[in-house]
Structure 1
């Protein structure tokens, strides 16, 4: 049996000695080079490509505590924020509204933390092995640690 697939029509025709036996829809690989010929076997559509990553806008409202900004970003992404502070009376608050682009929560937090003034810089640790995933924010430093399945990786 011979399978003949015309990719741009997403149609497969099985041919046996010139007779059309069956029709079936198949997934196109995205190549528009015409036909694919598969002999002595079943045609398997190429694996689906991962959807493209979307660049998202992340907003930091004016006069909002940074802790609340991170918590607002974390919740819909399945993360929890842990930010212990020595002084509960002091809160880091944004003065102006800021908006920037990032592909995901981790990239957004990293960009935001790196954009803080040097005297207010914080360390962020992404612990993906926790359930829920945990963002740990701590004192002023430029180090970022990612914990994935128990192994730590500094960035």
Structure 2
């Protein structure tokens, strides 16, 4: 049995996001930083500011052979729109993706069994929107940075 739940958790998030109707084309889902340009996308496991999935392990009980693994998986959604009302359209589009993923996580807290006796939650949400005239010439962009905070138990 694998000790760390991180690889299976990231795999689950990527597969789940790819299967959500709200992430159908033209939305692109990336495992890590994108290898292609996309106007609407979700990147799992990395953001421009944070490429680390941080992991902290603690003993479950004194003398026990169990341990708790606490880790965060950084994620980013972005949506770029051009034309009238573009900022609202971009923001609404980004939140459709976040809300779909969050709704799924609320009913699948164990990430399909990737987390053993554990839970996952989308948290630390930060919204960034186009804020300069130079950026505005390329359309309007809404980014949502968030973490999937996970806790999993492993036994010897």
The higher radius of gyration belongs to 1
TM-score w.r.t. the length of structure 2 is 0.25
Higher RCO (Cα < 8 Å, 6 or more apart): 2
TM-score w.r.t. the length of structure 1 is 0.25
Q: Which structure shows the higher helix fraction?
A: 2
